[in-house]
Amino acid sequence: MKLLHIDASILGGNSVSRQLSAAAVERLRKTTPNLDVTYRDISATPFSHLSGEHLAAAHGARPETPAVRDDIAASAAALDEFLAADIVVIGAPMYNFTIPSQLKAWIDRILVAGKTFKYSEKGVEGLAANKRVIVTISRGGFYGADTPAAAGEHLETYLRWVFGFIGITNPEIIAADGIQIGPEQREKSVAGALHAAGALQGATGQQAA
């Protein structure tokens, strides 16, 4: 069984989302013999943002610059990693109410017509429904449906839509909220999220003890 682990935070060892994604992967390692894990740090090695040259290449034109040619090759590798994975674990912090731009650039590599979705007479059909996606989220404040800031939440809502678009309708979300409110709240939120990561259903169906 193959697992793809993605981290997007720019904070390195100080990142809560990285801590949570690592805990989720460790939980799955313990419950799944011979789990094959591929790790990609898209903050340390980011994809470039899409350009006209990228789009032209997607329609058959030869890329004009070596940088874009290299990026297109890396994009194909990222798509292959995603397609090969049975489980995808993503560490996703909230930056200014939404996902990091590095994560958006990666998503641009996996939302590919004919690979992860297709158009038909019935509309859009997701082609990645057989995958399990776990997203570990960190947010500085509180953005629940019953909070004043709910309308500003464009991290979890966006990711749920993106993965639903390609057929993954029930991504598992583990969230640490309010981590910038104060030390006590941060500790409480991280502890709760780590507990949730440790209680994930194993890849083989095993529950936490």
Question: Is 25 a known ligand-binding residue?
Answer: no
Question: Is 94 a known ligand-binding residue?
Answer: yes
- For 140, phi and psi rounded to 5 degrees? -70, -35
Residues 55, 61, 65, CA angle at the centre, nearest 5°? 80
Question: Is 95 a known ligand-binding residue?
Answer: yes
Q: Is 10 exposed, middle or buried (0-12, 13-18, 19+ CB in 10 A)?
A: middle
Question: Is 139 a known ligand-binding residue?
Answer: yes
Question: Is 48 a known ligand-binding residue?
Answer: no
Question: Is 97 a known ligand-binding residue?
Answer: yes
The first and second tokens of residue 73, run together, are: 């090759």
Q: Is 68:51 a contact under the CB 8 Å cutoff?
A: yes
Question: Is 140 a known ligand-binding residue?
Answer: yes
Question: Is 15 a known ligand-binding residue?
Answer: yes
Question: Is 1 a known ligand-binding residue?
Answer: no
Q: Which residues are annotated as a binding site?
A: 9, 15-17, 94-97, 138-141
Q: Which residues are annotated as a binding site for FMN?
A: 9, 15-17, 94-97, 138-141
